Amino acid sequence: MKQFWSERIKDLVPYTPGEQPKDRVFIKLNTNENPYPPSPKVLKAIEDAAGEGLRLYPDPEATALRQAIAEYHGLKPEQVFCGNGSDEVLGLCFYAFFTPGKKVVFPDITYSFYPVYTQLFGLDYEEIPLNEDFTLPVEKFLGSNGGAVICNPNAPTGRTLPLTDIRRILDANPDVVVLVDEAYADFGAQSAVELISEYPNLVVVCTMSKSRSLAGMRIGYALGNADLIAGVNCVKNSFNSYPLDRLALAAGEAAIRDVEYFECTRNSIMQTRERTTVHLRELGFRVHDSNANFIFIAHPAKSGKELQQGLRDRGVLVRWFNKPRIDQYLRVSIGTDADMERMCAACEEILKG
């Protein structure tokens, strides 16, 4: 029954997020959350902000948060846009920069929200097949197009594109926006933020959901030339003046300023990732090198679906995508050492069974 739906949404196929079990009995390695709690300074900042002031609207320009993010990245506040999670930021960027009739390009295997935005906003797009080993065929992104979107490190493969290749893509697309989604870059990839001063067509999108342990607070941001950021603001201000509530603004600012906690937790995750990679390879898994807070794994003896179900039966949630080319793989978020040991033990059990 879609009697009252607008014509243009009747065929929309929305994005499906990973499962959020209501009672946490699982080891939850299915949505790339951080296993460590947010910084104590973040919790303190929320506590301080959670009072009478909540009756007032938040700062629609997120001034203090943008200032803190700008300082962290060595940019100016007018080069920073803040939104309700990087999903909203990405959506607003797609609307701000891409024009119907001009094909936006992105890989066939990448964050599956990209084609959803293009459908929602009536944009044309082309999915460029990744190489067999899931590396990006850079030359296919050099042609003329209406914009390019690159998740780096890529999800769900974890593969990273070096900055030299990002540069080639930016150079070859001087008249359109190249959007680099760095949701996972804090876990070991080289960021493209340093190229912003050189390229007026570069937008980098970041999130506090992963490396800042704040998935529950919905804080994302875009970085780029001030003219590009003004474009995202124009769309945001035509849709929702205040996408970040007062507690999210306070939490985000405290998180970005607590560099020490950030370094400590992301290093732990990277170390656990390396240990887990070694362990799983010993069990016969194919594990791609990853610069993200997840690994992409497959095993010759068991299908992706069987592995996912076996892990679920043993109390471990991981993500399996029922899609061509990757349906033998699992995307496994990096938890604590203890989480990953239990996950590896469960894999061992499944492989013996």
111-170: contacts with its own copies (CB under 8 A): 116-117, 119-120
Q: How far is the CB of 298 from its own copies (least distance, A)?
A: 26
Q: How far is the CB of 348 from its own copies (least distance, A)?
A: 27
Cα→Cα distances 243→27, 51, 97, 247, Å: 31, 19, 20, 12
State the CB neighbour count (10 A cutoff) for residue 343.
25
173 touching its own copies, by CB under 8 A: no
Number of residues that bind its own copies (CB under 8 A): 88
Q: How far is the CB of 229 from its own copies (least distance, A)?
A: 11
Site for its own copies in 9-68 (CB under 8 A): 9, 12-17, 20, 22, 24, 28, 31, 33-38, 42-43, 46-47, 50-60, 63
Among 80, 96, 130, 269, binds its own copies (CB under 8 A): 96
Site for its own copies in 262-321 (CB under 8 A): none
Among 216, 263, 286, 313, binds its own copies (CB under 8 A): 216
* Vertex 207 angle, CA 249 and 16, to 5°: 110
Q: Which runs of E-coded beta strand occur in the chain? A: 27-29, 80-84, 104-107, 125-128, 148-151, 178-181, 202-207, 219-224, 286-287, 294-298, 316-318, 330-333
Among 80, 155, 166, 177, binds its own copies (CB under 8 A): 177
100 touching its own copies, by CB under 8 A: yes
DSSP string, 104-138: EEEESSS-THHHHHHHHTT--EEEEPPPTTS---G
Residue 318 and residue 30 in contact, taking contact as beta carbons nearer than 8 Å: yes
Site for its own copies in 183-202 (CB under 8 A): 200-201
Q: Give CA–CA dist 34/200, Å, rounded.
A: 33
Q: How far is the CB of 210 from its own copies (least distance, A)?
A: 10
Q: How far is the CB of 328 from its own copies (least distance, A)?
A: 26
SS3 90: helix
211 touching its own copies, by CB under 8 A: no
Q: How far is the CB of 325 from its own copies (least distance, A)?
A: 24
Q: Which two tokens stand for residue 95?
A: 């609307």
Site for its own copies in 224-263 (CB under 8 A): 227-228, 231, 233-248, 251
| Orientation angle between helical segments 85-97 and 113-120, nearest 10 degrees | 50
Question: Side chain identity at 157, as an amino acid letter?
Answer: T
Whose Cβ is closer to its own copies: residue 16's or residue 131's?
Answer: 16
